[in-house]
Structure 1
Amino acid sequence: MKKLALAVALATAGVSNLSIAQESTDGPAYESWVGGFAQYYNADSEKPEPVGGLEDGRGFGAEVGFRFDPSWAIRFELSRVLIDKDDNNRSALADDGTMLGADMMYFLEDDVAYLFGGVREQSLTDSYRMASLGVGKHWNTSENWRVITEAATYYDFGQGYNEFSLKLGLAYVFGASSAPRSQPDTDGDGVYDAVDRCPDTAPGATVDATGCNIDLDGDGVINSLDQCPRTPAGVEVDARGCEFKDADGDGVVDANDECPDTPSTDQVDDKGCTLYAEEEIFVELDILFANNSSVIEDHETEMVKEFVEFMREYPNTNAVIEGHTSAVGTTEYNQMLSEKRAQAALKMLVEEYGIDPSRLSAIGYGETRLKFTENTAEAHRLNRRIEAKVEATIQEKVTR
């Protein structure tokens, strides 16, 4: 017990001296902590000699630590261990005692975990000196409180015993609330030298994640999107940061232009090709007949010529020729007369103008579709007729 008391006194004095040194330094203050813990302890079954027989155990204790560097800390702990005997070994006896330890601790980046190694002085029925090695983590619960989790292995220097323990504890932190990692940033751009690909960036420059000017060639396209990062100053560039070339002036760069000779008056799509809009066009044929006649008196009127020209220009079109009469006369006679008028127009278009007969059809409606219902000579004249209409869909350029 005298040894233990002396060791604890030395540990306390060491931490006090380190704290004083901490307070006197001009640099940042790093944290210290005190804590208590419970642990599961697994003893080597060969221990103690000569009978062996120790098994699982438990313990509780206290620790004090000081972090004197962003990565390094020193820790001292004192614990009480209670180790059970193996029930299968009748000669074995349970044992209990104390364990005093000291460790150096190395904290990984962003305190994701720490590694530690040190020595232990274990006093049971016999005394054992062991090396310790383990991993742990301090979990922040508030500004000053941490949960301690830890796993450790121990190797006895004298008899080669191998043991391990698991720790769960609670620590109170004082001093600095955290131990910030200071990493050099020579050019002061906010990017650590370790990842800074442009370590001589001018002060005040806006930089990307690699520490380089966010637009090295100054073309207005940030480095991460710039496919031509060395564009000369003053050159007009496209969205890729490459020189803007548009030979036909349609607003689409040559590299993406699939129609490089588009007229400048045309609207184009994103491939640089002319945009077209569908438009419905048609032409009508309207021929009047004399009373009680199916003879077409003039075969070369402008209306006939326009109708024929349309059908020739759009060879995929078809037309239905409709024959009509006035209401004078019997219904049966008028029906027959309307069919003869429709056939007369069809025959003219086929025989005189060469229109394919498969594109034409004729139908008579008699007096069933009067255009004018008045019982006058003029109304009767206008009802004696044939009508035809042909339609086509065309693609018209969309202009600027």
Structure 2
Amino acid sequence: MKKKLIAAACMLALGSTAYAGESEVKDRHGFYSYIGIHQLDLDVARETNERVGGNFGLGWAFNKNWQIEGLYNYTDDAFNSAVGARTDIETYGLDVMYNDTNWFGSTQTHPFVKVGYGKHEDKYDVYHEDFEDEFYKVGLGIQHFANDNVFMRVGLDFLDSGERGDDKNAYFNIGYFFGETVRAGAAPKVEPKEEAKDSDGDGVLDADDRCPGTPAGAAVDAYGCALDSDGDGVADYKDACPNTEAGAQVDEKGCKIQPKEEVVVDMRLNFAVDKYAIKPEMVSEIAKVAEFLRQYPDVNAQIQGHTDSTGSNKYNQGLSERRANSVKDYLINNFGIDASRLSAVGYGEERPIADNATEEGRALNRRAEAHAETMK
């Protein structure tokens, strides 16, 4: 077995040139595992013969120099002459390892030293009680990376078991490194950059565009929002009335909205009791309304009918509506006013303008009026 381990050390030495042309390893970090064989040479005080066994371990490399690992060795069928029985020996341990990557001038092949702690458990055949003892460890060896992942090592550990004596353990391992190897001059990992986009084609990249979806050709500011030069709340590209003065009320096209006021067209129509027909002397008054509507072609008018308090509320409501409609129809039929510009409503006796207790007051209340909205 010792000859085999020496041969393994020679293989490591010969393999040290395998990566001579590769760039230097600047660092290693990550998880690894290994399996191997060993020869456990127990102190003579144990009266147990040397035996070959198998082992495996799991470890973590903090960098190219420092590692920590846990291991398990199984040595079977050793004979203890003191008790006259065979025993299987299980060994557990935890080691801290230092790799001297400058010793050989190669980061692929280098010596290492380690210290650790562990336990032996002797598993005797029947009729013998199992035995357990602990030890402290110092070890040294050589480790070689065949490539960035596969490695081999050969080493010798010295185990101090106190009163149980000093043991030795020679071993050869083959392992696999799952972590990351960083080499000198290696190109840094660069995540592929996502191509910058300007989805709405306004000249502002999507990452900076606060107003995505701006229509093609619209002038925008540095944030991709459509310009509103006159500050009326309507973007320039859809502003039909640019340069509106500050504070002006505008419509959806950006044009100034003229405030409206309601005016009563001076039309003096007073009806006889319980009458709604248009008499000849009323025509000149109705003509005033027609003239007003021709002067303001965008203005609509509402014809309002009223009554005095004579009669029931229900009858007066109907009478007021008939008076309003008679004036509306006369404007349409005799003055050619578009029907869409006129509406008629009756208010019955609800809105008197004079005292219904007198005949003169009641005459004034039997009336029709024209109301229109005009721009100020």
Is TM > 0.5 for Structure 1 vs Structure 2?
A: no
The TM-score normalised by the length of structure 2 is 0.42
Query: Which structure has the highest strand share of the two?
Result: 2
Larger radius of gyration: 2
